[in-house]
């Protein structure tokens, strides 16, 4: 019994260092364990073996406590030295192989990055990242902040996690005085930076990104739980291309257990014309727009692109800016489907409510992103926002664009926004966001048209309705267009969308047509509406029509004798599509690289109809020396001048649309619109 107790005690002493390391959350690798195993074997043979086998050992080791002490001291010394050596390796890793160094002076003054090119071969973008800095912008998130820090630390290997950077955005009292004290900082490789006053999520992320030292910068919200192996795809994908931004697959977080809840992951978003974003699903790893707070990129690319816009305050809009500056300036965004991060969503639970001071203006942030990158497509914003005075220049309501101009200068100008639209043609062309036409839907028995009852832009509730009303070509809410991919053919379209909204027809309820957020993938069968050649507004075997009291109903198409006939009225090419087609002609090489057919950007030719009897066509010249192209846009390139018919007081294009001044306040703006005999379409011939 005494021998067994002594045997157990001496073997246990061999595991003192690994035990302390585990209790202290210090990484313990194979060398430490191997030394303890070897020591345990020696002590077992010395103190626990039979006399006939280990008699010599008992004489040398078992009877001499001095030798035992020296043996253990040597073991502890070797193990502690190895732990220290490995920790130094982790804290001071070798420098990664970067494509090149970035001059801080170049960044400050907007100079071109030496050797930068938008299009380079993949081998020049490869590098070898070794470490990750995780940046957490936190404001009054206390217990959630601590749980997030702990989760990041426990699910990231020590040799990869260089640091966790928490930016305390004005919490009172400071997070370092409540939940993220010195002991927590030491235990979890945590650095806490602080804003004495709240500047908002965007400013906090910029502070953290600028201060981070890892090869890869990963931004998480302060209420997440990254899952096992989340970091692997970040290292791999960003290592393949230092200009690649990576977004994890975002799942739901159970805040009671701080574990991942069963939910369908989300990740991809697309950009809408009102400078907002929508979730969607598509095949392939590339995505147009990130949702916001969860992403990773190389520190090199962070500095080259300038990180976040300094003038954006609060939250919202930074995801649009980051997405567009990445895609348009030579980078790409990829979804890491096997990298999962559980995220706390704002629900009805009061614990998920935000408790920080709100600063800034989300619409201003979105406007800054749009005016920075939309180019001529900014004209589309007037369909959504009423605040349009002082649109351009240093005194614009959304602020100066100087910082964006410096980024473009530094990165060789970047690409036009139309390139982005073509790059994601599966959304913008195939899903109908660049509709070939918009039109009103007139119900024949009543002579009234289908009017969407909501506002332009995003529906706050995610749903809406449409009813019959007297047709009005001046009201955009009467216009619809084909939308959503046809999943069976991967082309447009399988549904009907209210123009300038996120709403598609989904059925009929309580005498009105129902709408819901469009599924651009086309996989939601409830949105499969189409206007048939016979005039039926049809979904499957059901058709939409009206009752005797002008209520809408949906029933079997075979059951309708009258009241279910619809006509397309006032068809016109929308502004966004006209700008897009103009851009195709302006950048033929750029669109050629993306697979567009050469005929689509050929020089304009005189339409054959201009030679018909009784028709006379001419180009429209402006007093600036420019002409109007076929989309009514001023052009200094004479090869792009459009042809129009000059009538007594109106000017019409070849599709029968009238030239319209578009703005009563600015007669220098032009668009093509359904002819309506209004003052904005009235012209006088000057001899």
| pLDDT surpassing 70 at residue 498 | yes
Residue 109's pLDDT band (cuts 50, 70, 90): very low
Mean pLDDT along residues 251-263? 88
Shared domain for 263 and 273, answered yes or no, is yes
Which residue range forms the structural domain that includes residue 673?
A: 603-687
Question: Which comes out higher in pLDDT, residue 592 or 270?
Answer: 270
Question: Which comes out higher in pLDDT, residue 391 or 654?
Answer: 654
- Provide DSSP, 393-431: STT-TT---HHHHHHHHHTTT---HHHHHHHTHHHHTTT
Question: Which comes out higher in pLDDT, residue 606 or 631?
Answer: 631
Question: Which comes out higher in pLDDT, residue 274 or 40?
Answer: 274
How far apart CA 304 and CA 315 sit, in angstroms, is: 22
Confirm whether 115 is domain-assigned: no
| pLDDT surpassing 70 at residue 200 | yes
pLDDT at res. 599: 37
pLDDT at res. 387: 55
pLDDT at res. 550: 86
Six token digits for residue 599: 């005929």
CA 368 to chain centroid, in Å, comes to 16
| pLDDT surpassing 90 at residue 582 | no
For 327-364, what is each residue's pLDDT tens digit? 999 999 999 999 999 998 766 666 655 666 678 889 99
End-of-domain residue from the set 361, 386, 410: 361
| pLDDT surpassing 90 at residue 656 | no
Confirm whether 404 is domain-assigned: no
Nearest Cα residue to 513 out of 464, 455, 462: 464
End-of-domain residue from the set 602, 621, 646: 602
Residue 498, SS3?
Answer: strand
Shared domain for 649 and 501, answered yes or no, is no
| pLDDT surpassing 90 at residue 517 | yes
**Total-model pTM:** 0.76
- Provide DSSP, 349-373: SGGGS--SPP-S-HHHHHHHHHHHH
Least confident interval from 279-293, 348-362, 478-492: 348-362
Confirm whether 120 is domain-assigned: no
**Contact (CB, 8 A) for 277 and 270:** yes
Q: Which residues pair with 531 in a beta bridge?
A: 537
Least confident interval from 5-9, 216-220, 254-258, 625-629: 5-9
| pLDDT surpassing 50 at residue 391 | yes
Total tally of structural domains belonging to the chain: 5
Mean pLDDT along residues 460-465? 94
Shared domain for 588 and 536, answered yes or no, is no
Nearest Cα residue to 243 out of 337, 124, 132: 124
Confirm whether 189 is domain-assigned: yes
Shared domain for 203 and 273, answered yes or no, is yes
Residue 148's pLDDT band (cuts 50, 70, 90): very high
Shared domain for 198 and 347, answered yes or no, is yes
For 430-446, what is each residue's pLDDT tens digit? 999 999 999 999 999 99
pLDDT at res. 620: 83
Q: Please tell me which of 56-60, 141-145, 505-509 the model is most confident about, judged by mean pLDDT.
A: 505-509
| pLDDT surpassing 70 at residue 23 | no
Shared domain for 326 and 177, answered yes or no, is yes
Mean pLDDT along residues 397-415? 91
Question: Which comes out higher in pLDDT, residue 548 or 482?
Answer: 482
| pLDDT surpassing 60 at residue 600 | no
Residue 312 maps to which CATH number? 3.90.550.10
Confirm whether 428 is domain-assigned: yes
CA 237 to chain centroid, in Å, comes to 17
Shared domain for 152 and 240, answered yes or no, is yes
Confirm whether 392 is domain-assigned: no
pLDDT at res. 262: 79
pLDDT at res. 86: 58
Shared domain for 592 and 628, answered yes or no, is no
Mean pLDDT along residues 545-551? 88
Confirm whether 409 is domain-assigned: no
Mean pLDDT along residues 78-83? 68
- The H or E element spanning position 147 is helix 142-154
Question: Which comes out higher in pLDDT, residue 668 or 141?
Answer: 141
Shared domain for 68 and 155, answered yes or no, is no
Six token digits for residue 627: 């002409």
How far apart CA 12 and CA 220 sit, in angstroms, is: 42
- The H or E element spanning position 90 is helix 65-91
Q: Provide φ and ψ at 375, rounded to 5°.
A: 60, -135
| pLDDT surpassing 80 at residue 246 | yes
Buried b or exposed e, range 610-637, using 16+ CB within 10 angstroms? eeeeeeebeebeeeeebbbbbbbbebee
For the chain, percent of residues with pLDDT exceeding 90: 54
Peptide bond before residue 173 is cis, with ω within 30 degrees of 0: yes
How far apart CA 36 and CA 507 sit, in angstroms, is: 71
| pLDDT surpassing 90 at residue 51 | no
Shared domain for 566 and 616, answered yes or no, is no
pLDDT at res. 331: 97
Q: What is the largest CA-CA distance in the chain?
A: 126
pLDDT at res. 660: 82
Confirm whether 114 is domain-assigned: no
pLDDT at res. 126: 96
pLDDT at res. 598: 36
Residue 645's pLDDT band (cuts 50, 70, 90): confident
The three-state DSSP-derived secondary structure of 253-279 is EECCCCEEEEEEEECCEEECCCCCEEE
End-of-domain residue from the set 312, 344, 361: 361
Residue 460 maps to which CATH number? 2.80.10.50
Shared domain for 233 and 199, answered yes or no, is yes
pLDDT at res. 241: 97
Shared domain for 615 and 524, answered yes or no, is no
pLDDT at res. 26: 60
Residue 438, SS3?
Answer: strand
């Amino acid at each position: 019994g005494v021998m067994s107790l002594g045997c157990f005690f001496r073997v246990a002493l061999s595991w003192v260092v690994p035990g302390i390391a585990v209790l202290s959350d210090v990484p313990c690798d194979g060398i430490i364990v191997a030394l303890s195993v070897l020591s345990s074997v020696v002590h077992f043979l010395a103190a626990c073996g039979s006399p006939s086998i280990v008699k010599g050992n008992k004489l040398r080791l078992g009877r001499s406590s001095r030798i035992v002490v020296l043996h253990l001291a040597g073991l502890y010394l070797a193990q502690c030295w190895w732990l220290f050596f490995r920790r130094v390796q982790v804290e001071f890793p070798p420098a990664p192989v970067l494509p090149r160094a970035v001059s801080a002076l170049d960044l400050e003054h907007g100079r071109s990055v030496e050797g930068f090119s938008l299009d380079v071969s993949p081998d020049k973008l490869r590098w070898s990242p070794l470490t990750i800095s995780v940046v957490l912008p936190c404001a009054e998130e206390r217990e959630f902040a601590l749980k997030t820090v702990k989760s990041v630390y426990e699910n990231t290997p020590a040799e990869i996690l260089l640091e966790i950077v928490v930016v305390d955005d004005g919490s009172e009292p400071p997070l370092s005085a409540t939940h993220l004290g010195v002991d927590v900082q030491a235990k979890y490789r945590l650095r806490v930076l602080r804003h004495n006053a709240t500047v908002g999520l965007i400013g906090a992320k910029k502070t953290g990104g600028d201060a981070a030292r890892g090869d890869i910068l990963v931004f998480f919200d302060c209420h997440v739980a990254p899952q096992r192996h989340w970091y692997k795809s970040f290292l791999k994908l960003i290592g393949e291309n230092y200009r690649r931004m990576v977004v994890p697959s975002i799942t739901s977080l159970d805040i009671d257990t701080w574990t991942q809840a069963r939910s369908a992951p989300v990740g991809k978003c697309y950009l809408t014309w009102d400078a907002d974003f929508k979730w969607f699903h598509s095949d392939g790893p590339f995505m147009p727009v990130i949702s916001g707070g969860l992403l990773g990129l190389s520190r090199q690319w962070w500095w080259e692109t300038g990180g976040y816009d300094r003038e954006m305050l609060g939250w919202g809009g930074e995801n649009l800016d980051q997405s567009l500056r990445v895609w348009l300036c030579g980078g790409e965004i990829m979804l890491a489907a096997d990298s999962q991060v559980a995220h706390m969503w704002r629900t009805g639970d009061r614990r998920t409510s935000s408790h920080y001071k709100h600063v800034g203006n989300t619409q201003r942030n979105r406007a800054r992103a749009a005016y920075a990158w939309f180019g001529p497509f900014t004209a589309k914003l007037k369909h959504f926002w009423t605040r349009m005075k002082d649109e351009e220049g240093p005194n614009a309501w959304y602020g100066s664009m100087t910082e964006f101009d410096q980024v473009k200068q530094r990165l060789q100008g970047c690409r036009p926004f139309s390139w982005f639209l073509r790059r994601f043609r599966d959304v913008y062309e195939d899903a109908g966001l660049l509709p070939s036409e918009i039109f009103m839907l007139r119900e024949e028995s009543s002579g009234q048209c289908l009017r969407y009852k909501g506002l332009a832009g995003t529906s706050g509730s995610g749903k809406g309705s449409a009813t019959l009303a007297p047709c009005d070509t001046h009201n955009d809410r009467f216009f619809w267009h084909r939308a959503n991919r046809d999943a069976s053919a991967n082309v447009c379209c399988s549904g009907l969308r209210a123009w300038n909204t996120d709403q598609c027809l989904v059925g009929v309820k309580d005498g009105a047509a129902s709408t819901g957020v469009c599924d651009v993938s086309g996989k939601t069968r409830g949105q499969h509406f189409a206007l048939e050649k016979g005039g039926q507004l049809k979904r499957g075997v059901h058709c939409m029509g009206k009752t005797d009291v002008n209520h809408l109903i949906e029933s079997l198409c075979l059951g309708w004798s009258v009241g279910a006939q619809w006509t397309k009225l006032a068809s016109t090419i929308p502004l966004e599509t006209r700008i897009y087609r103009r851009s195709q002609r302006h950048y033929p090489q750029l669109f050629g690289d993306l697979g567009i057919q050469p005929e689509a950007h050929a020089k304009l030719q005189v339409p054959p109809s201009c030679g018909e009897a009784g028709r006379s066509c001419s180009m429209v010249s402006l007093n600036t020396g420019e002409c109007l192209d076929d989309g009514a846009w001023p052009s200094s390139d004479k090869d792009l001048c459009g042809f129009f018919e000059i009538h007594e007081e109106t000017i019409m294009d070849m599709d029968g649309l009238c030239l319209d001044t578009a703005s009563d306040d600015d007669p220098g703006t032009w668009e093509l619109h359904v002819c309506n005999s209004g003052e904005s379409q009235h012209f006088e011939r000057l001899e």
